[in-house]
Structures are given as structure tokens and as C-alpha cells.
Amino acid sequence: MDFETMNSDTMDFDTMNVGTMNFSRESGERSHETPTVSPAMAPQAKIRKKAPTLKIKDWEPHKQQVLRLYIIEDKPLSEVKTIMEESGFSAGIRQYKSILAKWDIGKNVRPQEMKAIVRKRKYRNEEEKDKGMLGFRIRGTIVEERKIDRWVKAKGEQEDLDARQSPALVPRSLPSEAFIYQPGFNGSPTMFGTSGSVVDMTDYNMRAVNQPSVTVPSRFKQVDEERLAEELTSLEQRYGVDHPQTFDVLEELGRIFVTQGRYKSAERLFVRLILACREKLGEKHLSNLRAITYLGEVYACQGEYSRAQEMLERNFTVLKTLFGLYNGSTLFCMGKLGNVYTDQQLWDKAQELLRQEIECRKVFFGPEHVDTLASERLLAYILAQQGRLTEAEQLARSVLEILSRFSGLESRHTLNCREVLANILANLGQYEEAVELQLHFAQYAQFIGGLERARPDIGRR
């Protein structure tokens, strides 16, 4: 074919397959043969590395950290995955999604849950206007107002019609077990200002919302939390927000958050308390210094050891200078600083500080006070870590004997000391007695909620 004289009449553009057409430079002829590719030049398929198979028991040691990162700190799964890999635990995104589903954890709001939220909010806005607006939280995650508004815009008309036809479906009040947070103390992003309260809908059985009675499992120390929240509201109404009359209740509420493992909520509350104390009472006031100790403890609980150590060391120096060693707040700060040293395996620093603390506690509280004995039990643990097993054994036996007499065999302090002694004896090769102590631990653990709840953190107080 002469390309110079070729016109459109000689080419069929509709049927020409350009992708399979080869042109010969010499003859100018077209060939419809499919071009061949050399095997050596063929692109190699990427082989995706298969994630290791993980069973539920493999996740258990990491469950609390995963939930803290994903729910409390609201990090995306990709970031949770990266942080956990830095800690030595590796899993794929699909595996995280699978285990979260098995734990019944998720940030998405289910349709039944959203219906109950919308109905409760509607009833509050129309029938309980004097009580202020509500916020909601599902499985630890705040449900944003804009998400509720989008849902209402999409399905609100039918929902409103259903509610009018079936008034019983509108929850006039949440179950007594569903805790209603007071303004500013739920750990939400609106901690420092928004009025209203947040209803914790965790484990709320939305399918039974139209039943006369719905039960929700109560959180640890929920009764104390509710009592303090009510007391705080009353004081704030009487004296104003962040008035010195509210400081003791704020501190106690923060301590409750720590025992519940709600470290971000506790952190925000103690930061707020410190700022208020400094403004109203001054930096050297005991309330301010105690709050700093608690904040240092919260940082340690979140693994921020360097930050916690620096804060507690500085605070301990101030407390010792202003109030001396024989002071409850000074001793409390010493104990928390000793825990931070222990967590970082700074055994020499921990032992030196702990011996000083024990001597002060014996004078201030007495040699048989539970706090003194808890410090001695921790010292036995530290001595064992240093390889001084005989000395550690003698101290642990002495502490265990006193705790058994004064606190009882089922006391958590007694169980902790029993666990420390069992580990020491095992390292000394005294396996028979070590096993016997472990059996005693299992026997009495039932008094405080079972083995998992009773398992002590023997390296802390």
C-alpha cells in the first residue's frame, strides 16, 4: 500500500484495531498479529506478604492499648497499626477490623442506635427544654451533632411520623444505668465550655428501647462518678465554675477517671484543675501541687514516662521544700515517682527513693499501715529484679504475714504480695511453695471478681 496516496476510502476507522496493529517500516503493510512479549520482559506480579494468623488469645495482651488508641484517642486504624508495630505487635488492617467486630467495638452508629438518639434528643428539645441539650456517645465515641443532623435530614420525616404514631417508642428517660455526664467532665472535645451533658450509650440495647425496662451494665465506680458529678453541678451552680469550693470534688472525680482507665478524660480534668488552682490559689498551694502529681501519674499510665518523670521530680522537690518529707502529699508524690522509676526499670533510683519513702511512711502512718506495706512489697519486687533474691524473699514474707493478719487473705494487697513472693520463690528454685502460693491466689481471687480482674500489677502500687 502506498501511504502517500492512501485516502480515507481505503481505511476502515470503525473496525481498525490499533492495539493489535503492527506496521512494517519496509513494506508499509499492516499485520493484525498480536505482538509477542519476551518472558524475561513480562512484568512480575507483586506477591503480597500474608499477614500472620492471629487468634483471640494473641490479641488479649494488647487489647487495652488498642482500645485506648482507637476509642479514647480517636486514632484511625492505620495509625493504631503503626503505633502497635513500634511496640512489637504486627497485624493487618483487616485483622484489626475483624477483632474490633468480635469485641463489639466500632465508631459507626447503627441504625437502631441512631433512632434512639434522635428520639431522645427530640423529646429533650420539646418536653425538657429546661434541662439543656444532650450529647451522645456510642461505645466510647462521641456522636457528632452534624452526623445526627444528616441522619435526621435523610430519614427524619418518617422517623417523626413513627414517633407520633407510636409514642411509646420515644424514650422519655434513659435507663438508670445509663450515666448522664455533667458539663465538661466526659472527656469529650468540648470539655472546656459547651453546656449540656453527654449520655453514655455503651452496650445500650437499642432493640429493646420500646420495652418498659432496659438494663445497661454499669461501669466501674459508676455510682461514685454519678454522685461526684451531681455534687459538682450543685457547687458550680452555687459558687460558679472553677471556684475553689469545687476543687476537692474535681480532684476526686479525676481520681475516679484514672481508676476507670479513662486517662484522656483525667488528663483534661487535671489540666483544668491546675490552671484554676494557679489562678485562684497560687502555684504553691497544696491543691495545685497534688493535681500536678495526679497529672504526672496520668502521663505515666499513658506510657509518657519521660514527661511524667520530669514533672514528678520537679513537683517532689517543691513539696519537700515547702512541706517536708513527713507530709501526706509529699509521700504520695514520692510513691508515684517511684512507680515511674520502676516502670522504666531504673532499679537503683527506685530502690533509693523507696527506702526513703518507707521510713517516712513508718513514722507518718505507722509500720503496719496498708500504704507502708504496699511500698515494702514494691521494694521486695525491685530487690528481686536486681537479683537480691534472698533479701527480697525475707521482706516479702514479712509483709505477707502482716497483710494476712490485718487485711485478710482475700485482700487485693495480700494477693499482690502473694504473687510477688511466688515469683521470688520460683526464681530461687522453690517451686513447690511457689505453686502452693499460686493456688492460694486462684482460690481467693473469686472474692474480687475472678482471676482476670484479680491479676495484680505487681510492679506498681
Write out the DSSP string of 201-244: -TT--GGGTTSS----PPPTTHHHHHHHHHHHHHHHHHH-TT-G
Sole residue written with cell 470534688: 249
Q: How confident is the model at residue 47 (pLDDT cuts 50, 70, 90)?
A: low
Residues 197 and 86 in one domain: no
Residues 357 and 445 in one domain: yes
- How far is residue 271 from each of residues 186, 229, 250, 264, 288, measured CA to CA in Å? 14, 18, 11, 11, 10
Which CATH number fits the domain that encloses residue 403? 1.25.40.10
Residues 147 and 62 in one domain: no
Evaluate whether 135 touches 196 at the Cβ level (below 8 Å): yes
Q: What pLDDT is attached to residue 121? A: 75
Residues 361 and 453 in one domain: yes
Is 267 a member of any domain?
A: no
Arithmetic mean of pLDDT, 411-430: 89
The C-alpha angle with vertex 13 and arms to 11 and 17, in degrees rounded to 5, equals 105
The C-alpha angle with vertex 285 and arms to 267 and 191, in degrees rounded to 5, equals 25
3 state DSSP class of 381: helix
Residues 91 and 117 in one domain: no
Per-residue pLDDT of 296-318, as tens digits, reads 999 999 999 999 999 999 999 99
Is 83 a member of any domain?
A: yes
> Shortest CA distance to 377 belongs to which of 351, 395, 394?
395
> Shortest CA distance to 172 belongs to which of 134, 128, 225?
128
Is 150 a member of any domain?
A: yes
The domain tally of the chain equals 3
Q: What is the DSSP letter of 180?
A: B
> Shortest CA distance to 103 belongs to which of 152, 51, 139?
139
Q: How confident is the model at residue 139 (pLDDT cuts 50, 70, 90)?
A: low
**Distance of alpha carbon 55 from alpha carbon 49, whole angstroms:** 19
Tell me how crowded residue 180 is: count the other CB atoms within 10 A of its CB: 17
Per-residue pLDDT of 325-341, as tens digits, reads 999 999 999 999 999 99
> Shortest CA distance to 402 belongs to which of 366, 429, 434, 431?
366
**Distance of alpha carbon 275 from alpha carbon 297, whole angstroms:** 17
> Shortest CA distance to 409 belongs to which of 365, 384, 439?
439
Is 90 a member of any domain?
A: yes
Per-residue pLDDT of 68-106, as tens digits, reads 677 655 678 898 899 888 888 999 999 988 888 887 666
Is 251 a member of any domain?
A: no
Per-residue pLDDT of 359-417, as tens digits, reads 999 999 999 999 999 999 999 999 999 999 999 999 999 999 999 898 887 788 888 89
Q: How confident is the model at residue 447 (pLDDT cuts 50, 70, 90)?
A: low
Residues 368 and 421 in one domain: yes
Question: At 23, phi and psi to the nearest 5?
Answer: -110, 135
Residue 417 CA, chain-centre distance (Å), reads 27
Q: How confident is the model at residue 15 (pLDDT cuts 50, 70, 90)?
A: very low
**199 versus 182: which is more confidently predicted?**
199
**Distance of alpha carbon 304 from alpha carbon 292, whole angstroms:** 15
Q: State which residues form the domain around 411.
A: 345-461
Residues 418 and 436 in one domain: yes
Residues 92 and 118 in one domain: no
SS3 content of the chain, % helix, strand, coil (to 5): 60, 5, 35
Residues 123 and 86 in one domain: no
H helices present in 41-181, as ranges: 56-59, 63-67, 77-86, 93-102, 111-127, 145-165
Q: What is the DSSP letter of 36?
A: P
Q: Euclidean distance between the first and final Cα of the chain, in Å?
A: 94
Is 116 a member of any domain?
A: yes
Is 220 a member of any domain?
A: no
Domain end marker among 45, 78, 102? 102
Is 391 a member of any domain?
A: yes
Identify which of 23-32, 194-203, 212-221 has the greatest average pLDDT: 212-221
Residues 121 and 91 in one domain: no
Residues 126 and 67 in one domain: no
Residues 65 and 130 in one domain: no
